[in-house]
Structure 1
Amino acid sequence: MAETIRTEYRLENLSCANCAMKFEKNVSRLPNVEAATVNFGASKLSFAGNASIDELLAAGAFDGIRVVPISQRKPTEKVPFFKRRENIVSLISLLFLAAGLFTSTKYGETNIAAIILFAIAIVVGGTSMFIDGLKNLVRLEFDMNTLMTIAIIGAAIIGEWREAAVVVLLFAISEALESYSMNKARQSISSLVDIAPPSATIRRNDKIVELPTEEIRIGDVLLVKPGQKIAMDGTVRSGYSTVNQAAITGESVPVIKQTNDTVFAGTMNEEGSLEVTVTKLVEDTTIAKIIHLVEDAQAEKAPSQKFIDKFAKYYTPAIIVIAALTAIIPPLLGADWQTWIYQGLAVLVVGCPCALVVSTPVAIVTAIGNAARQGVLIKGGIHLEEMGHIKTVAFDKTGTLTKGYPEVTNIITAAGIKEEELLQVVASVERLSQHPLARALVNASEARSLRVIPALNFQSLTGKGAIADVEGQNVAVGSLRWMGELTELSAEVKTQAGAMQTEGKSVMGAVIDGTFAGLFAVADPVRNESKRVIERLKEIGIDKTVMLTGDDPKTAQAIAAQLGIDDVRAGLMPEDKLIAIRELSEGKKRVAMIGDGINDAPALAAASVGIAMGGAGTDAALETADIALMADDLEQLPYTVKLSRKTLRTIKENIMFAVGLKIAALLLVIPGWLTLWIAIFADMGATLLVVLNSLRLMKIQK
């Protein structure tokens, strides 16, 4: 069965959640379109089928929504405040309203001139709303525009021209402020889109040319000068420089890049010139994947948002019924018809669902955008919410709590032998070995810039170690058991070796010309930040930390004790880690698992939230995990927990603001105190409170 091809467009002027829902419906109704989806947070349209630009523009004409090709990149136009269409409309409406208020004060509210001025203010400020509201009314679709249209026309019919004009103006101002606030929330994503330059200088067939990134092919050589952004993912072919990778990983400290190192599109080359061999097409670069995943994340609805959407379907008809009952029942019992029709219209205005509909998505959009700028990729509102409920965090050991590669931690030499001299000759032997621990000795020698001495007659003995001649000396390096076969080891040496092994370290010995020369302890070192991260997690409310590792239990226990981890499960195969996660999740407990995204895939998938270390450059981590810490920085974990909990709290606050203000206003119906002014202030106030409260999530930092 052929895969359905979906077409995507970027949207401009998409200002409110209701507009997004309406536009989605309009596109879905086009004759050759099926399964249309509007991503409100990312301002994107996606659909299967065929539709012309003209048809799409017509579908969005009610709110001036424009569609542009997904690949089109143009600088964001900074439109001055007073040149924005919604602000111009509000200002003109305000001028006519002021003139009407002046005239009505001087000559009375029934003066024809005052009524005309109020009517002009209503038409100028509410034309687009009326057109859409009346269309919806014909189709029996009730959204915010429909409710407002009924209320304002009703107010005019019963002679409340001044009130109707004020409501239109306040509604126009509310729409303008909501549009401004949503644009602010989206800036975190639009800034990601503009990170990578649209063109680059490359060398192809011995010619140097400037090309758009869409035309650059794998294998082309990218020329990057100091101070330029790197346009494509690739590997350094030649050159030496420092590169600021903050845009991808959130790291503020520049990273040294030299031959064979990986570089990412959108990062800043700082000091030297680089030649980079392109390894990915523009649509496959790490930054392109991040943007795509973040935009998809914003489209994926969180549980609270799904609840709100479902609730809103019943909420709006319920408000209409309440408004109708308010307008009809008291007059039937002998009250004044005009007074209670007015109250019913006010109920319609106060009942607009805008604040409620936007309460969750604006918080999710803001939080996910903020996280992306900090180097944390959260792949959906559902994962953001789940992370906010986490009480148990399970860690893989190797590469997560530890650095993931062996390092020399201790060197003990025999009497009369200098430490650097011993390391130098031992490294000369181990340079020819393929054993992982041998690399640690070579790295230690290179870190001290020790001279490389050629080794002759090299032999590798499986299960024992390696032996070679170095400057006329016979040097053997390997296991303590083998060293004991080559020479006699003193009780002191055995005690020293045993103490280091108890700490979870691998111990090797060295024998030179048949005489014991020294001991080397090698371990996968704990990350400097691991202990601090565990402490911070407990401070912010994580009840239990667990280590799941395939390593030796003695080594795992030693590291867990050093870090303050509560529970250790060692010697585990991947399937055992999966079982452990299921055990920890019993009783509907929410558990986060953090690992490398590859070996821990089953456990990551089974956890409530799977978190991958080092998403940058690791396609598997980007694809398998719910959350990726792009910089391979464990300190991003407490930040993610904090952001998730703050987002949950913000969503709850938003719903309280949205519902609470409306309930308070509706209660004013009982004594007959609810006015259209109060109603629109309640609706506008709730919407602004919700949006501004959500924008505070942009300020949360690591």
Structure 2
Amino acid sequence: MGNHIKKELILEGLDCANCATKIESQVVLIEGVASAYMNFITKTLSMEIIDKDKLDDILKQTKAIINKLEPHVNVSDKSISKIEKKVLLLMGLSCGNCASKIERELNNISGVKSVVVDFATKKLVIEANSSYELVRIIEEANVIIKRIEPDVKIIDKENTVEGHEKKKVIKEQGNSIELTMLIIGSILFTIALVYKFSFKVEVLLYTISYLLVGGKVLLKAGRNILRGQIFDENFLMGIATFGAFAIGEFPEGVAVMLFYRVGEFFQNLAVNRSRKSIAALMDIRPDYANVKIDDNIKKVSPEEVKVGDIIIVKPGEKIPLDGTVVEGSSMVDASALTGESIPREVEIGNQVLSGSINKNGLIVIEVTKEFGESTVSKILDLVENANSRKAPTENFITKFARYYTPAVVAIAALLAVIPPLFINGATFSQWLYRALVFLVISCPCALVVSIPLGFFGGVGGASRSGVLVKGSNYLEALNNVETVVFDKTGTLTKGVFKVTEIKTIGEVDQSTLLEYAAFAESYSNHPIAISILKAYEKEINRDLIESYEEISGHGIKVEVKGKEILAGNTKLMQKEQITFNESEEVGTIVHIAVNRSYLGYIVISDEVKEDSVRAIKLLKNLGIKKIVMLTGDRKSVGEKVAKQLDLDEVYADLLPHEKVERLELLDNEKTAKGKLVFVGDGINDAPVLARADIGIAMGGLGSDAAIEAADVVIMTDEPSKIYTGIKIAKRTKKIVWQNIIFSLGVKLIFLVLGALGYATMWEAVFADVGVTIIAVLNAMRAMKIE
């Protein structure tokens, strides 16, 4: 790849698809541009530039082309984002309910574009429309966070990692004084419970024990009441245990507070363990890079390495940046990126991905992407930010928790007051106790903690299996897939085309016909064009090409040395009114005409992937109702592949816009809750990927366009990974709903038992804290790969 570099420009205001095609076809003709792709959906122009020294001149020419074709379009570098974003870490955030409150209040700040608090990673992501607004928003956010959770430390994520030598691991250590008070309080409680003292001594021991054990809870409750934050677990525990003391149930009041604090400790332990497990799951970030400078090797942070730099990777080290091997050979383990268990061999000229592990040999790599644009960086960014797109179940639980606690508190108040007034023999203390049991049970922590952890674990587990899911909303949507629509080339077939026959008409020989085809295809990056150029095996002198026009869905028209060459499908021949010979051969047929005279055709064949047959079988076993293939190839080729794979339907001879139209018709056939998935290579299929309910890009690591256009990225070329993704989605949903049913079921049972007087506060605390611990431990199963 040499000094090739990638550049991306945003074309704001581009609303003409035809103009986008013109921009792409003209930019690719600029000297020094190896390839150009215009993604109309994301308005992104991606260019591969041969020589970085000519970058400024190429960008100037590119902007001139865009301004000429579309004068109103505003061109900006993709790295300059209009939306300002800040990521903060909320260290010490252990309350899921409080995380929901913080997110809700921060979203009400003026100027905020979006705020997401990810309880699973303790991350707060704030987006604003300008850097000026962002500074003000962060100041207001600090005040709100400190009001809701005063003990939380707010840390700028950018300051936590500054190169491999300055990397700091932030550890949350338990407060030894707090632990000591808890132990002393427990001892005093045990003494008061075991030994018989006078009433006054017992009360004194229980009171001191209660204050030592629950002092922190009472202080938090008091502070929150002053700030208007009444309905939280601290307030509920304070009221419940105060009430127990008021009716003379001293041992129970202390025991409940003690059980609550011990349960809280184990809950935090379980949550932190699950966070560490998820972090370990995605431990693919390289710590350093060995940069070769003259004859010396310097160890630096991956962020400091530039495109074109030479790096050395020793056996056992992680490959820090994407690049091309220029020296040496080795076996590379990419299992953390792609889920492939078998290491692959790399040698000079091969591409390597950052985050892979070099197994045995020393390799020298020329860097092709900066760290921010590298594979490992994109994967980490996608996985870490997946929870910013919340699943409908998560949103429901957040709303539910908001109303659930106040409702239970209101019922508890009615339970304490109304029965003593209307039931003969009922005492106020008896019904107050039942109301207090109600209060202890009402905290929704089990749900607001375990549900986000479950989805986060599912996304993390999927990524380790080679399936990148961009949000927990897409992970949940994969549960309802009814229709799967495949593109053919590069998705179900290998996309490795080979010229298998050259058929000439008249006096022209095969080599001349191939030469005409090679000139026509010299600017195209399509697999068919590449196969023709490979078969030609000679250098193309592009200076001889006087004009070049790509006719979408038809083929190419070029003028070379005064001759007009047409190369394309039957539609091109019909459009140009050329008399040609129809061919019944299986494969892609490229017809060639020179100066309006038909000279023959070239047959190009593609192979079905070995994994495709297995993938279709697995999807049918999952109960997918309809599996369809869309292709721009001929009907005979499409039908042959469809028969080989046992597909339900096939639609061939489709132009790009016709694929979208066909997809919309298929979309109308599914049920209201059903989802339609489109699987393509992510480059030519961007409009269809964007139109589907869930767009899945195959082999997405090599394509920036794929990562942008798709909702799910399969990091290998295996269609069977779609089955893997759906299975993980179903498993995650099962675990999430286990937690919802278990948490609400246990709470409901204890609420009824508490109201009827059968449940004590001891059981109530189990229904709160115990259930949370069990739910969190269950949520951790979502990250395991089966």
Is TM (by shorter chain) over 0.5? yes
1:180 equivalent in alignment to 2:269: yes
Deviation of the 1:530 alpha carbon: 0.5
Mapped contact 2:102–2:145 kept (Cα < 8 A): no
Deviation of the 1:393 alpha carbon: 0.7
Gap change, CA 1:396 and 1:583, over 3 Å in 2: same
Residue of structure 1 aligned with 2:293, choices 182, 204, 215: 204
1:592 equivalent in alignment to 2:674: no
1:248 equivalent in alignment to 2:337: yes
Distance 1:578 1:592 in 2: 13
Residue of structure 2 aligned with 1:532, choices 595, 614, 623: 614
Q: Report the AA paired with residue 635 of structure 1.
A: S
SS in 2 for 1:49: helix
1:62 equivalent in alignment to 2:150: yes
Aligned to 1:214: 303
Aligned to 1:649: 734
Aligned to 2:745: 660
| Unmatched tracts of structure 1, length 5 or more | 412-425, 446-451, 454-462, 464-477, 480-496, 509-519
SS in 1 for 2:340: coil
| Deviation sequence 1:184-239 (CA, Å, 0-9, x none) | 33335523664232222112356432222232222221112222211122222333
1:560 equivalent in alignment to 2:646: no
| Deviation sequence 1:29-56 (CA, Å, 0-9, x none) | 9999996542222221233225579979
Distance 1:78 1:40 in 2: 17
Aligned to 2:15: none
Aligned to 2:486: 395
Gap change, CA 1:77 and 1:570, over 3 Å in 2: same
1:358 equivalent in alignment to 2:444: no
Distance 1:122 1:409 in 2: 85
Mapped contact 1:550–1:572 kept (Cα < 8 A): yes
Q: Using the TM superposition, name which of 326-335 and 608-617 deviates more.
A: 326-335
SS in 2 for 1:545: strand
Mapped contact 2:160–2:169 kept (Cα < 8 A): no
Q: Using the TM superposition, name which of 369-378 and 25-34 deviates more.
A: 25-34
1:265 equivalent in alignment to 2:364: no
Within-5 A mapping of 1:600-679: 600-679=685-764
Mapped contact 1:241–1:273 kept (Cα < 8 A): yes
Deviation of the 1:628 alpha carbon: 0.5
Within-5 A mapping of 1:284-683: 284-333=373-422, 334=424, 335-407=426-498, 434=518, 504=587, 523-586=605-668, 587-588=671-672, 589-683=674-768
Q: Using the TM superposition, name which of 260-269 and 536-545 deviates more.
A: 260-269
Q: Using the TM superposition, name which of 397-406 and 264-273 deviates more.
A: 264-273
Aligned to 1:238: 327
Distance 1:441 1:577 in 2: 26
Distance 1:71 1:233 in 2: 25
Residue of structure 1 aligned with 2:770, choices 659, 671, 685: 685
Mapped contact 1:529–1:635 kept (Cα < 8 A): yes
Gap change, CA 1:58 and 1:652, over 3 Å in 2: closer
1:114 equivalent in alignment to 2:209: no
Distance 1:546 1:277 in 2: 42
Within-5 A mapping of 1:35-184: 37-47=116-126, 48-50=134-136, 62-65=150-153, 67-73=155-161, 74=167, 85=174, 93=182, 96-107=185-196, 111-141=199-229, 142-184=231-273
Distance 2:590 2:115 in 1: 62
Deviation of the 1:337 alpha carbon: 1.4
Within-5 A mapping of 1:274-293: 274-293=363-382
Q: Report the AA paired with residue 122 of structure 2.
A: S
Deviation of the 1:91 alpha carbon: 7.8
Gap change, CA 1:211 and 1:566, over 3 Å in 2: same
Distance 1:503 1:122 in 2: 83
Gap change, CA 1:563 and 1:29, over 3 Å in 2: closer
Gap change, CA 1:643 and 1:576, over 3 Å in 2: same
Mapped contact 2:305–2:370 kept (Cα < 8 A): yes
Aligned to 1:15: 94
Q: Using the TM superposition, name which of 242-251 and 36-45 deviates more.
A: 36-45
Gap change, CA 1:129 and 1:432, over 3 Å in 2: farther
TM-score, length-scaled by structure 1: 0.80
Deviation of the 1:3 alpha carbon: 3.8
Gap change, CA 1:199 and 1:71, over 3 Å in 2: farther
| Deviation sequence 1:372-428 (CA, Å, 0-9, x none) | 2222111111111111111111111111101111247899xxxxxxxxxxxxxx999
Deviation of the 1:662 alpha carbon: 0.9
Mapped contact 2:96–2:449 kept (Cα < 8 A): yes
Q: Report the AA paired with residue 700 of structure 1.
A: I
Gap change, CA 1:597 and 1:116, over 3 Å in 2: farther
Identical-residue share of aligned pairs (%): 37
Mapped contact 1:430–1:439 kept (Cα < 8 A): no
Aligned to 2:59: none
Aligned to 2:596: none
Distance 1:309 1:136 in 2: 20
Distance 2:708 2:530 in 1: 31
SS in 2 for 1:159: coil
Distance 1:177 1:675 in 2: 22
Mapped contact 1:42–1:298 kept (Cα < 8 A): no
Gap change, CA 1:649 and 1:37, over 3 Å in 2: closer
Q: Report the AA paired with residue 135 of structure 1.
A: R
Deviation of the 1:659 alpha carbon: 1.1
Distance 1:56 1:211 in 2: 39
Gap change, CA 1:644 and 1:232, over 3 Å in 2: same
Gap change, CA 1:391 and 1:124, over 3 Å in 2: farther
Gap change, CA 1:170 and 1:184, over 3 Å in 2: same
Deviation of the 1:95 alpha carbon: 5.6
Mapped contact 2:469–2:713 kept (Cα < 8 A): yes
Mapped contact 2:148–2:224 kept (Cα < 8 A): no
Q: Report the AA paired with residue 274 of structure 2.
A: A
Deviation of the 1:433 alpha carbon: 8.1
Gap change, CA 1:659 and 1:642, over 3 Å in 2: same
Q: Report the AA paired with residue 602 of structure 1.
A: P
Q: Report the AA paired with residue 539 of structure 1.
A: N
Gap change, CA 1:677 and 1:35, over 3 Å in 2: same
Q: Report the AA paired with residue 382 of structure 1.
A: N
Deviation of the 1:550 alpha carbon: 0.9
Deviation of the 1:638 alpha carbon: 0.6
Aligned to 1:698: 783
Cα RMSD of the aligned pairs, angstroms, is 4.1
Deviation of the 1:182 alpha carbon: 2.3
SS in 1 for 2:390: coil
Deviation of the 1:21 alpha carbon: 3.2
Mapped contact 2:588–2:634 kept (Cα < 8 A): no
SS in 1 for 2:610: coil
SS in 2 for 1:11: strand
Gap change, CA 1:42 and 1:410, over 3 Å in 2: farther
